[in-house]
Structure 1
Amino acid sequence: MRLLETFWYTDPSGRRWEAPKGAVTNGATIPRTLWSSVGSPFTGRYRRAAIIHDVALRNAAIVRDDADSMFFLACMAGGCAPLECKLLYAGVRIGSWATLFGIHADDWIGIAPALPGQHGPTDLEIRARFTLLATALRATSDDFATVRAVVSHHLDG
């Protein structure tokens, strides 16, 4: 998607996160296999947060953790329910985890035949992590520091 006009989000600390006119975006960096759980990146109340997050990640000067934190706060500001914000944040963190730390479940892809609509081993591992995280997040407060700690514990060990 190419943006037709500039828009931005100003976080609680006053930092302005801008998505400039003409920027190209493909969503919130939530793995596609989770879209059925949290929604596709161009729908719902988190759409604008997803676009700003995606644009921020293309800027080498922006720290990924800062962009992910902004995404959670922008989802809240956009009207998402607290549990939805926690799950969306978990989704972008899982996307980062899968990319940065590499999951190698697809090494086994040739063992079983793929069926139409079947999830591959990597998708299954991502979905399993998300399910465990979602269960843990349902039991936490909505405080971002707590949410971040729970997600980090599950993904970083």
Structure 2
Amino acid sequence: MSYGAFSGNPKTMWLSDRGDDRDMQVIEDFWYLDQDGRRWDVPAGTVINGASIPRTLWSSVGSPYTGNYRRAALVHDAAVGREGVLRAESDAMFYFACLAGGCSQLQAKMLYAGVRLGAWASNTHLLSIEAASAVPDATRLPGEQTPRELEIRARYTLIANQLKVTGNDFAEVEQVVDRNLGRAH
């Protein structure tokens, strides 16, 4: 089964003078053509940061720019927030782009759960929990997690365990994730 194709390997440049040193700028147009023929463009000049999956899940899912999902992450970053593109559309594209990039079905499901959790966390009460319980990094013990991080990890673990026994039909995967994030399907 074809999951689409990428235009090749992306050409990027690290922007080491910005933020937490995770930003990159795309220096040559890049795109992903999905299985339905929709082209997801990443124009030269686009700045990406791989921040769609919460940092607390990196040890479980993988950190940005690693593994077979690097190109999918780049296209997803460019699509999120683009006018006329719904976040759910971008996340679904990411799932299939992960498969096109060489991820296994299980890995694509876990990565999809990670980006959906990222969207959920940025749109829920967890932001107020984080602010109310903010502990400066300097006073946190190594490995200590905030209430927000603990909630994200707990939900991810629940979803991941269900996805391990879920079939590979995307509608079924989407339903499991949405049900656990409180979205009706």
Contact 1:137/1:150 (8 A) holds in 2: yes
Taking the aligned partners of 1:26 and 1:148, their CA distance within structure 2 comes to 25
| Structure with the higher fraction of residues in helix conformation | 1
Is 1:46 aligned to residue 72 of structure 2?
no
Matches within 5 A, 1:7-156: 7-27=30-50, 29-103=52-126, 104-106=128-130, 107-109=132-134, 114-156=140-182
Give the root-mean-square deviation of aligned CA atoms.
Answer: 1.4
Taking the aligned partners of 1:28 and 1:16, their CA distance within structure 2 comes to 22
In the superposition, the TM-score normalised over structure 1's length comes to 0.93
Using the aligned pairs only, state the percent identity. Answer: 52
Taking the aligned partners of 1:124 and 1:141, their CA distance within structure 2 comes to 27
Q: Report SS of the residue matched to 1:118.
A: coil
Contact 1:26/1:54 (8 A) holds in 2: yes
Deviations 1:87-110 (A, max 9, x none): 000000000000012314333446
Unaligned runs of 5+ in 1: none
Q: Which has the higher contact order (CA 8 A, sep 6+)?
A: 1
Q: Report SS of the residue matched to 2:31.
A: strand
Q: Report SS of the residue matched to 2:28.
A: coil
Q: Report SS of the residue matched to 2:47.
A: coil
* Structure 1 runs (4+) greater than 3 angstroms displaced: none
Taking the aligned partners of 1:114 and 1:121, their CA distance within structure 2 comes to 13
Equivalent residues, number: 155
One-letter code aligned to 2:57:
L
Unaligned runs of 5+ in 2: 1-23
In the superposition, the TM-score normalised over structure 2's length comes to 0.79
Taking the aligned partners of 1:93 and 1:80, their CA distance within structure 2 comes to 17
Taking the aligned partners of 1:108 and 1:41, their CA distance within structure 2 comes to 27
| Structure with the higher fraction of residues in strand conformation | 2
One-letter code aligned to 2:26:
L
